[in-house]
A and B are shown apart, each in its own frame.
Chain A
Amino acid sequence: MKLFTSKQFSINPENLKHIRTFARDFFNQLQIEKEQTENLVLAIIEAASNIMEHAYENNISTDVLEIVMNILPNHVLEIQILDKGKPIQLDKIKSRNLKDIRAGGLGIYFVGEIMDEVKFLKEENSKWNNRLIISKNITTPLLNQH
């Protein structure tokens, strides 16, 4: 059983399907149940899409984003998503007001609904500009044996 994995993907919406495959493979080998897996995949894709839409303003780039997934003690799944795009403006991150019928902010709202904790960090003295850390307590029969 793998408790850690990481992979880089270039900034291109066509890579979102490869990100889904990468994430599903990791969660499947941990025997995380299907509904939970699909929720986690959705959170990762929303985060990656947000980078492509906002940090890269919908432009395809040879830059990469990196996804790092790690099972921490106490069965906490921590996912870090790093990018070199436009530095994040923390005061501009808005989740959706559910009274508005619009799509803007819905991705961030989904991430918050699915994960237990969401942290946006600006990177300094690093090859990355932005680091998103999302985490969730997970239970699977396989992890319970460890």
Chain B
Amino acid sequence: MHIKIEEKDNQSIIYLSGEIDLSNADSIKEQAIKLLERKKDLILNLSGVTYIDSSGISILIESHKNAMQQGVKSILQDISKEALKVIMMARLEQILIIE
């Protein structure tokens, strides 16, 4: 799994690629929560995600909930088909913000 972070004036972007599971989900979640504490919108770019399970989905849910508490948005962008399938299996496509 590879993670790249880009910070702009009004938003932070996390580019995720590779396989997301229990072995790396907590570390990604911590970084997402830390960025949201800066009260900027967070973009989670999932274009390179080749595998995600419920541990990875928990990152998306926690980021979404944390962003709402901070009064900002957590937005999913460029979702790979592998990740979208699992998001849809969790029936979260209507709940999470997808661009």
**A interacts with B:** yes
Interface residues on B, range: 20 to 34
A103 and B57: CB pair below 8 A?
yes
Chain B positions near chain A (C-beta within 8 angstroms): 19, 21-23, 51, 53-55, 57-58, 61-62, 64-65, 82, 85-86, 89-92, 95
* Interface stretch of the complex, out of A25-33, A38-46, A123-131: A38-46
Bound-complex Cα distance A113 to B53 (A):
13
A87 within 8 A of B: no
Q: Which 6 A-B pairs have the closest CB atoms?
A: A103-B58, A13-B23, A106-B54, A107-B54, A13-B22, A49-B22
Least CB distance from A9 to B in Å reads 13
Q: Which residue in B21, B85, B89 is a CB contact (below 8 Å) of A13?
A: B21
Chain A positions near chain B (C-beta within 8 angstroms): 13-14, 16-17, 20, 35, 38, 41-42, 45-46, 49, 52-53, 98, 101-103, 106-107, 109-110, 113
Tally inter-chain residue pairs, CB-CB below 8 A. Answer: 58
Bound-complex Cα distance A79 to B18 (A):
26
Q: Given the complex, which residues of A lie within 8 Å of B55, measured CB to CB?
A: 49, 103, 107
A20 and B95: CB pair below 8 A?
no
Bound-complex Cα distance A94 to B90 (A):
15
Q: Contacts A20-B51, A106-B54, A106-B58; is A42 near B86 (CB within 8 Å)?
A: yes
B22 and A102: CB pair below 8 A?
no
Name A16's closest neighbour in chain B (CB-CB). B21
Bound-complex Cα distance A53 to B86 (A):
20
Q: Given the complex, which residues of A lie within 8 Å of B91, measured CB to CB?
A: 98
B21 and A17: CB pair below 8 A?
yes
Q: Given the complex, which residues of B lie within 8 Å of A42, measured CB to CB?
A: 53, 86
A14 and B23: CB pair below 8 A?
yes
Bound-complex Cα distance A26 to B86 (A):
22
Q: Given the complex, which residues of A lie within 8 Å of B92, measured CB to CB?
A: 101
A49 and B53: CB pair below 8 A?
yes
Q: Given the complex, which residues of A lie within 8 Å of B57, measured CB to CB?
A: 103, 106
Least CB distance from A46 to B in Å reads 6
23 contacts between A and B (CB under 8 A): A13-B21, A13-B22, A14-B23, A16-B23, A17-B19, A17-B21, A38-B82, A46-B54, A49-B53, A52-B22, A101-B61, A101-B64, A103-B55, A103-B61, A103-B62, A106-B57, A106-B58, A106-B90, A107-B55, A109-B54, A109-B90, A110-B86, A113-B89
